[in-house]
Amino acid sequence: MLRTLYGTVIMSVIIALTAPFLTGIANVYLRTQEIDPLLFAFFGGLILGVGMGIIFRLNATTGGADLIAELVKRSGLNLTMGQAIAKKFYSV
């Protein structure tokens, strides 16, 4: 559970540090170009995916749904983190 606390704190700090930079880039882009929501969605998903991948690679969680998936994984079921998250969301 210490890794979960560490992952939650680090992710929050990184978001707080990068938000002004990314918001500035978005504001410049919005003033000079046409708005393309698909491009914003793509890069948002890419950044989120890389961050979550790093956290999961270190066997940590962010304290959300992945914490439940980690507990299911540790309960003895032979599942990876991705499989546990997918099974949780498919069961809802």
Average pLDDT over residues 30-57: 78
Average pLDDT over residues 30-49: 77
Q: What is the pLDDT of residue 92?
A: 55
pTM above 0.75, yes or no: no
- Which residue has better confidence, 89 or 47? 47
pLDDT band at 19 (very low <50, low <70, confident <90, very high): confident
**3-state SS, residue 68:** helix
Contacts of 61 (CB under 8 A, 6+ apart): 3, 4, 7, 8, 55, 67, 69, 70
Q: Are 64 and 7 in contact (CB under 8 A)?
A: no
Residue 77 has pLDDT above 70, yes or no: yes
Q: Which two tokens stand for residue 36?
A: 């393309």
Average pLDDT over residues 66-87: 74
pLDDT band at 1 (very low <50, low <70, confident <90, very high): low
